Amino acid sequence: MDESKLSTIIDAATSRFAHYGLLKTTMNEIASDIGMSKAALYYYFSDKERLFIAVVTKEFNQFESAVRDMIARDSKAGFKLKRYVTIRNQFLEKLRNLAKVESATLTEMMNPVYNEMKHRFFNKEKELVGAILSNGIGNGEFRKVHTDEVADFFVSGLFGLRSAGLVLPIEPGADYVAKSADQSAFLTSILLEYLRPRD
């Protein structure tokens, strides 16, 4: 398999999926975008769903790499949790296909691919947040808690805040991105207060 062609296909699909979404994109259009025959495209990906999974996986890997680099640095766990939310918000603005999975509509969730990718994204986020929580518990910065339960709560909250911002009405002229970032920061401060060791 030609890696440069594979990269070209994923790059073209990334743009088209980001603009039109999975449901409105065809393999024919992607093939046309890169001057490839449809048959050649099918050699690399059996259907557009597999291609979409490759695109979202690539985007998530970029996000995960940035988070793991941040977690590896020598800093307090509370700072890392705040930084996690900042990185998450920045990447979901930049990585449009990952953002589509994270905030998929009810119609999109009927497609098993969205459901599968959202489930993967959620579990991976729980793992990343769990690592930060374990670090904080280990160094005495956080009190002992069930990290899996707390990570589940926190990631669910982050998902919910972004989803609510997309479906609930906001004031005319309001900045949805800024509001979502403020709400995520507020949720983080609530969690950090909960995690603070009790005297």
Q: Which residue has the higher pLDDT, 92 or 194?
A: 194
Summarised one tens digit per residue, pLDDT across range 67-126 is 999 999 999 999 999 999 999 999 988 888 888 877 766 677 778 888 888 899 999 999
Closest C-alpha among 150, 9, 171, 10 to residue 81 = 150
- What pLDDT sits at residue 172? 54
The CATH architecture that domain 1-46 belongs to is: Orthogonal Bundle (1.10)
Q: List, as one string, the DSSP characters of 118-136.
A: HHHHHHHHHHHHHHHHHHH
**Residue-level pLDDT at 166:** 52
Residue 170's pLDDT band (cuts 50, 70, 90): low
The whole-chain average pLDDT of the chain stands at 89
pLDDT at res. 101: 79
Query: Between 176-195 and 147-167, two packed helices, what is the crossing angle to 10 degrees?
Result: 160
Residue 181's pLDDT is 85
Q: How far is CA 76 from CA 16, 86, 192, in A?
A: 40, 15, 12
Closest CA to 131 of 177, 68, 194: 68
Report the distance separating Cα 88 and Cα 169, nearest Å. Answer: 23
**Per-residue pLDDT reduced to its tens digit, 15-52:** 999 998 888 999 999 999 999 999 999 999 999 999 99
Domain ranges of the chain: 1-46, 53-195
- What is the DSSP code string of 152-189? HHHHHHHHHHHHHHHHS---TT--HHHHHHHHHHHHHH
CATH class of 53-195: mainly alpha
Per the CB < 8 A criterion, the answer to whether 111 and 56 are in contact is no
Task: Give the residue with greater pLDDT, 184 vs 166.
Answer: 184
Q: What is the mean pLDDT of residues 176-185?
A: 83
Q: How far, in whole angstroms, is CA 131 from its chain's centroid?
A: 17
Residue 148's pLDDT band, with cuts at 50, 70 and 90, is: very high
CB proximity list for 168: less than 8 A, separation 6 or greater: none
Q: Give the per-residue pLDDT at 153.
A: 97
pLDDT score for 93: 86
